[in-house]
Amino acid sequence: MTIHKEGYSTIAWSTLVFGIINILSFYFLSFELPWLNWIIFAGTLGLLIFLISFFRIPNRNLTIDEHAIVAPADGTVVAIEEVQADEYFSDRRIQVSIFMSPLNVHVNRNPVSAEVVYSQYHKGKYLVAWHPKSSTENERHSVVYRKNGKEILVKQIAGALAKRIVNYLKAGQQAEQTQEMGFIKLGSRVDLLLPLDADIKVKIGDKPQGGVTVVATW
């Protein structure tokens, strides 16, 4: 397991704050209120460990398959439905939505090896990720991949807790399957808009692993 680069400064500052709080706690509380000193230590240590785990990148055997569309994120499949596309596309698409909790791995990965033909950030609200309008009204970043004349859209969506979306892709570049496309701090949700003839391999309630689980084939 390694730590994602997006977490370096956050973890450094958090470790500094952890040290300062506990030095002050030990100095002022350890003799008169030792039990409170231990509670503060345990609580701040737990928060620091959670923060470190939030930026973890676990070692995995990633899936490389030219016919597969792999999960761009860890989480839980919360929607599989045919929708009218509201960005870039004008046709109907199959939408697969993956909800990311604060406990999930937060690295987002390219679902396919393909040309990036569209990469657009949108300012927006911070509705809870399962809100029906979160995919169209929340802060988000959309990327369209084109391969062999077919296109898919991946949408990183912020939520009530997630306040920052990071995306590394630009239109015109070649993306490699399972390589990092971005990061959503504190989770939220990732939507895939797939062609109607895509063969969906997951169901609602499944818990895919980013870069590993095959969501669909084409």
Our answer to whether residue 90 is catalytic in this structure is no
Residue type at 149 in one-letter notation: G
Range of the domain at 25: 2-57
Which tokens go with 206? 């499944």
- Please indicate, yes or no, if residue 63 is contained in any of the structural domains: no
pTM: 0.82
User: CA-to-CA distance for 187 and 190, rounded, in angstroms?
Assistant: 9
- Reading the chain (218 residues) residue by residue, the pLDDT tens digits are 788 788 788 889 999 999 999 999 888 887 788 889 899 999 999 999 988 887 888 889 999 999 999 999 999 999 999 999 989 999 999 999 999 888 888 899 999 999 999 999 988 665 555 555 555 567 889 999 999 999 999 999 986 555 578 899 999 999 999 999 998 876 688 999 999 999 999 999 999 999 999 999 98
Residue 178 maps to which CATH number?
A: 2.70.70
Tokens linked to 165: 């979306």
Q: Within 10 A of 126 (CB to CB), how many other CB atoms are there?
A: 17
User: Which one of 25, 97, 135, 188 is the catalytic residue?
Assistant: 188
Q: Are residues 15 and 108 in the same domain?
A: no
How far apart CA 68 and CA 216 sit, in angstroms, is 6
Q: Are residues 145 and 208 in the same domain?
A: yes
Position 87 in a domain: yes
Instruction: Find the DSSP H helices in the chain.
Output: 8-29, 34-54, 134-137
